[in-house]
A and B are shown apart, each in its own frame.
Chain A
Amino acid sequence: MSATEKGKRKIPWTGILVLAVFMMIVIPVFSTSFYTVNYDQTALVFRFGTLHAVREAGSYSKVPFGVDRIARIPTGNPQIITLPVGRGDTGVYPYTSSEGLPVYVSMNVIYRITDPLAWYSAGGSQDLLIYAHIQDILVKKIAGMKIAELRDKKQGLSRLLLAGLLNDRTLAGWGIKADKTELLQIDIPLNDPAMVGADEKIIDLTVTTMLAAMKENYKKAYAGGSLNEDVMARIKEDGYPWE
């Protein structure tokens, strides 16, 4: 074929146009017609905004162009909320014990989404609602207990909270169920601004409480044989130094 013949060759506009229209229709249709639900999800399918179907893990087709919209809810994996939230330099908000002392308590609450639609209906505020509700329970429980009680009943407190959360109707209304609570820390925050600025009565109480806890630690360590040998011998001979 000569160069002149090549230059005269007609461009197939009709073919290009057909192809363009075809691509304009087929590509968007294809790309918006299928979706996958992972093993740890449940999908809510909304058709024109109304709940149309609930799908478990698998691949599915849907009506394209945004007619069907998919909301994937993480029902398979446990969700975790850690309380309390951070504050400034100290990292956590202290709670208040029944003596009026600041006390750091941190815990994990592990829960599962049991009702995807109720969860979806809470509309994005779920984490904050759950956090606030559990924090409210924790504030009131801790305010009714002395620091010594809190430290002694660490496991008991954890179970008490779980029992409270399991029977909680508010959480059920948001489509979740508490699985487990893990108490991470109970401490008197020695450097918390509230402690530093506290009055004499509170400071004395703190020191007494902490020294009592330390004595308890010594007694347990002595019984378990985890003190240094010379300290063990000294306690055996002379008794505990504070007695």
Chain B
Amino acid sequence: MGINRKILRISLAVGLAVLAVFYFIAVQYSFTQMEGTWVAFIRNDKIRKISATPGFKLIVPGEEVFNLPKTTLVAEVPPARYFVDGSAVMAGFLISWQLVDPQAYLETIVSVDKTDSMIIESVTDILRDRLVRGDGLSRDDFFALAGSLPGQLNDSRTVKDSGIHIESVMISDFSPAADDGGLENNASESNPLYGEKLRILRSVGRQWERDTN
């Protein structure tokens, strides 16, 4: 009876120890690669392997793991001032992109934030080059230029080398830009002509309210 108890205690202790070791290994040296990701295994600052298939993966001690998205991501180019049809407009863009070559991506860019900055810089360069000179473009030409941006970006050395692919460029903002003096919301102070006309419109509006009440 005494021996049985001793065996039971030892078995339990061994069982617990095995469980603890298993838990430690499971947490420290394994992970699940999910659908929609690439995983890069890095050892001594060198890419040892890039895995594209989801599943349960083990990590060799001393190895670092980078999760990279296969999914579509969006970079935002904030509204900037351009000349379209001879007038200033504020135009902003949202750009969808995908990582297609994780090896090139890791060797050049490494982070999504840096990719966004690179895309914003490339788009701004292309647009400024075409739009800031002279009177800029007509509206149709501007939209056509926006439509051609994915091709132009994908052909550029910077994008090619960074292992990403630009899917689409979407115009998120296209609004008339205020003149530098017209940024105040007080119409009559910043633009006397407009202030006068605004008063007429408002008096017509008040008349309408009186006539329909």
Chain A contacts to B: CB under 8 angstroms: 13-14, 17-18, 21, 24, 46, 48-51, 66, 69, 84, 89-90, 93-96, 98, 100-102, 120-125, 128-129, 131-133, 135-136, 139-140, 143, 170, 190-200, 202-204, 206-207, 210-211, 214, 217-218, 221, 226-228, 231
Contacts and interface: CB of A to CB of B under 8 A. Distances in A.
B24 to A, nearest CB: 14
Interface stretch (B126-134, B156-164, B174-182): B174-182
Given A125-B72, A190-B187, A102 B175 contact: yes
Contact of B193 (A120, A124, A200): A200
Contact of A228 (B33, B36, B179, B212): B212
B168 to A, nearest CB: 7
Interface in B69-125: 69-74, 85, 87, 89-90, 94, 96
Contacts of B171: 135-136, 139-140
| Highest count of chain B CB atoms <10 Å: which of A18, A69, A100 | A100
B204 interface: yes
Interface of B: 5, 8-9, 12, 15-16, 19, 32-36, 54-56, 69-74, 85, 87, 89-90, 94, 96, 139, 143, 168, 170-187, 190-191, 193-194, 197-198, 200-201, 204-205, 208, 210-213
B9 A17 contact: yes
Nearest to B176: A194
Given A135-B171, A198-B182, 11 more contacts: A46-B35, A48-B32, A49-B32, A96-B174, A96-B176, A135-B173, A140-B171, A194-B175, A196-B178, A196-B183, A199-B179
A195 B197 CA distance: 12
Interface residues of chain B: helix, strand, loop or mixed (majority): mixed
Nearest to B31: A49
Nearest to A197: B182
Top-4 shortest CB links A-B: A197-B182, A123-B71, A49-B54, A132-B94
A136 B19 contact: no
